[in-house]
Chain A
Amino acid sequence: MRIYDIAFYIAGFFILGVLAASSGLNFIIIIMATILMAAIFLFIGYLRKIPRIFWLTGLCLFIIIGAFYYFWWNSYQIKNLNIIFDEKINFQGLVVKNPEQGNQQKLVVTFQPPYSGKVLIKLRSYPSFDYGDLINFEGIIKRPDSQSYAAYLAKDSIFGIVDYPKTELIAKNQGSVIKSQLFKLKEKLISNFQKTLSAEKSAFLAGITLGERTEFSQEFKEAMAKSGTTHLVALSGYNITIIVLVIAAFFSRFLSRKITFVLTILAIFGFVLMTGAEASVVRAAIMGFIALLASQVSRLYSIRNAIVLAAFFMVLVNPRVLYFDVGFQLSFAALLGIVYLGPAIQKFFRIKEEGGFLGWRKNFLTTTSAQLAVAPLLIINFNQFSLTALIANILILEVIPPTMFLGFLLGAMGFFSTALAIILSWFINLFLVYELTLINVFAKISLPITKIGISGIIIYYLIMVGFIVYNYRNVKS
């Protein structure tokens, strides 16, 4: 077995172990199941005399390591927790994430000694706090109301909520200097959007370029959910690609390949930090990094390994994302759909290679395969999957890349001249009007599917995998 195959199976089995553990299975059961699986591999390997299968027998160990890692990580988190619940206390906390502003502020703070752990704090809009503020609070720490909300917060190691405590600022700028500068840059970019575009449009543009969602009105959020376009404002490979293209195109003119590479990597890293490191953008950043690295050291880029390694690193940093972070699941499901289901559909329906006008065929394939791959996840998590979403997405995604590109340009232009930025904003306005109109129209003509059982999901994905395998076989023969 080759080294890249070994890496693939190690990462894959590790992830499988974490998945088994986080789905609530007992450690003993996981060990037993793994041993059984290893035995089956051994048996098949012995029958067929394929060394590859023998290798798999040994690598099964990583399922157990993955499961163990998950249990260890969890107990480590809880051991380091010191929170007093349901009692009015005084405590100091450091704001560790860029606060969500809006008609209400949401701060994520880590306790200062004697307490430890993280809580979510809800406050009125003013006084407004920033990342890196050290604040004295007086309030009651409560546990999250519902189990699903608790799981959602626990994914980020947040175990308590404080509603409207008394606050007193102790010190500013106690966080990382780089992060606080990046957050300021993001704020400035968004303010450049706001200065040149109307509220709804600037909010949407901030969403698709920087993943910022706090300015969305409730009606707009619902319109996106109903029309099946919410994913537009989750950061993705698009954003990373545009950054890579722009940075590389700019610097490679007068700098060496190596330095351009380093600068591009730094830019990606900065972007991920700036946008709060949500799962989809971290995934895209890791894969972008692997792709760039491959071309830098002149190695082949294997998409299969890149996907699994990205998932592996993310699970290593936080094993809870695999089971509890819907964004993580959607991001990987969509990508797997594009990479594997897309070509299968293309072969099956004999769709031409050429893109067609504005590359609509390619967009159609990408969108269709991504949507089909995430549909069950959307239905079970959000009760939202509209049959018309496919058309909406094909029509909208066509213009998202230029909108994004112009958006970044607008943000940059705002630093030099508001007047020039305003002229540029007229162009973006055209795109934004088109996109927002479609979102609102398709919200009205949505054909929602809301129910699908666990067995439905399994059957759905089995059919999908079968379809993919069938089409690949056909190609080989």
Chain B
Amino acid sequence: MLSPNRLILIMIFLVVFDFFIWGLILFEPVNKNLQVYFLDVGQGDSELVILPNGPKVLIDGGPNNKVINELASVLRPTDRYIDLILLSHPQTDHFTGLIDVLKRYQVGVFIFNGRSGTVDSWSKLIKVIKENKIPAVVLAAGDKIHYLNSQFNFLLPDKNFIESTDLNETTLVSLLQSQNSKILFTGDIDAKIEDYLIRKYDLDIDVLKVSHHGSKFSSGEKFLSNISPKIAVIEVGKNSYGHPTKEVLKNLASVGAQIFRTDKDGTIKLLINNQGISIFKKK
């Protein structure tokens, strides 16, 4: 029934496939390190956290579908699952890219602050979440997510800010503790919220996702000297606001933080283990 040529093709195919599967099983690297990627998505935020032993957490998705190519360059092509998506706050430069992520990846849980976006694309995001039957969970200050020795602590928003008319003030601020390091994800909070944050918590961190793409209304001196980041990453692209501003760069330098920015360095990867933090730049 089958011609010899076809048979040869099928045999080759099966052998290659067999090797492929065994390769997946035997050589799957069990990752003991914490990896944090600050994805270069232009003027917007998107960070991918891969916890020790593998769970993936995507924080924000940037302003467009650039995030898809960034994810493709980080994740294996056969890897189609993202455990958690965290949306800091419902503004377009943070969530638009998530629409495509949710269409293309299977996602465990969608986590957000409970506030609705005011732009047209927000309804599209909600539609995609519903269509794909992804559970949506609202978290706020005081909530925690544990996985083995890693944990996300959610510091804000609390009841004082969740109903703010300025959506930036409703940012779901999270502190990741893993491999003896502390990483603070600040979304777009401004100096007022930053000061509130240091009044409420005693923070001494290693890595800071600089708030609001380096806007001059964020990253106040007092806040920075209080949390004393060793590494500061600015997620920023071409923009007309002057982000990142000179003031912010100066403030960060004055507390001794090593500064990285996605517009100049491309996607930035932090590899963190008990020995310390290694930094890789794409550009």
Contacts and interface: CB of A to CB of B under 8 A. Distances in A.
Interface of A: 103, 125-128, 191, 194-202, 217, 357-359, 418, 422, 425-427, 429-430
B107 to A, nearest CB: 11
Nearest to B127: A128
A125 to B, nearest CB: 7
Nearest to B66: A103
A221 to B, nearest CB: 15
Nearest to A419: B106
Q: Which 8 pairs, one residue from A and one from B, show the smallest C-beta to C-beta distance?
A: A126-B121, A127-B120, A198-B72, A126-B120, A194-B104, A199-B68, A198-B77, A199-B72
Contacts of A422: 78, 80
Nearest to A217: B69
Contacts of B13: 427
A195 B104 contact: yes
Given A197-B77, A418-B106, A427-B17, A125 B121 contact: yes
Contact residues of A: prevailing secondary structure: helix
Contacts, number: 52
A358 B80 contact: no
Interface in B164-183: none
B104 A200 contact: no
Interface string B74-113: 0001101000000000000000100000011110000000
Contact of B77 (A103, A125, A201, A359): A201
Contacts of A126: 96, 119-121, 124
Interface in B113-129: 119-121, 123-124
B145 interface: no
B213 to A, nearest CB: 20
Given A199-B69, A426-B78, A429-B77, 6 more contacts: A103-B65, A195-B106, A198-B77, A200-B72, A359-B5, A427-B17
Contact residues of B: prevailing secondary structure: helix
A426 B20 contact: yes
Contacts of B77: 197-198, 201, 429
Contacts of A359: 5
Nearest to A430: B16
Nearest to B123: A127
A334 B13 CA distance: 32
B80 A195 contact: yes
A200 B120 CA distance: 27
Contacts of A202: 104
B25 interface: no
Contacts of B104: 194-195, 199, 202
A405 to B, nearest CB: 13
Contacts of A217: 69
Contacts of A103: 64-65
Contacts of B120: 126-127
A358 B5 contact: yes
B148 interface: no
A195 B105 contact: yes
Nearest to B67: A199
A461 to B, nearest CB: 36
A429 B13 CA distance: 12
A124 B259 CA distance: 34
B15 interface: no
Nearest to B81: A422
Nearest to A359: B5
A32 B9 CA distance: 61
Contact of A128 (B9, B69, B103, B124): B124
B190 to A, nearest CB: 26
A422 B80 CA distance: 8
Contacts of B68: 199
Contacts of B106: 195, 418
A127 B121 CA distance: 6
